[in-house]
Amino acid sequence: MSARIATVSRDTNETQINVSVNLDGEGRLSCQTGVPFLDHMLDQVARHGMIDLDINATGDLHIDDHHTVEDLGITLGQAFFEAIGDKRGIYRYGHAYVPLDEALSRVVIDFSGRPGLYMNVEFTRDTIGSLDTQLFWEFFQGFVNHARVSLHIDNLKGFNAHHQAETIFKAFGRALRMAVAEDPRMAGQMPSTKGSL
* DSSP designation for 126: S
Round to the nearest angstrom and report the end-to-end CA distance of the chain: 17
3-178 CATH, one of 3.40.190.10, 3.30.230.40, 3.90.1300.10, 3.65.10.10 = 3.30.230.40
Query: Low-confidence residues of the chain, pLDDT below 50?
Result: none
Q: Is 160 exposed, middle or buried (0-12, 13-18, 19+ CB in 10 A)?
A: middle
- CA atoms of 57 and 32, how far apart (whole Å): 6
Domain boundaries, the chain: 3-178
Tell me phi and psi for residue 154, to 5 degrees. Answer: -130, 120
Q: How far is CA 154 from CA 22, 95, 135, in A?
A: 27, 11, 16
Q: Write down the pTM of the prediction.
A: 0.97
Q: Determine the pLDDT at residue 188.
A: 87
Predicted local distance difference test score (pLDDT) of residue 54? 98
**pLDDT tens string 5-43:** 999 999 999 999 999 999 999 999 999 999 999 999 999
The chain-wide mean pLDDT, for the chain, equals: 97
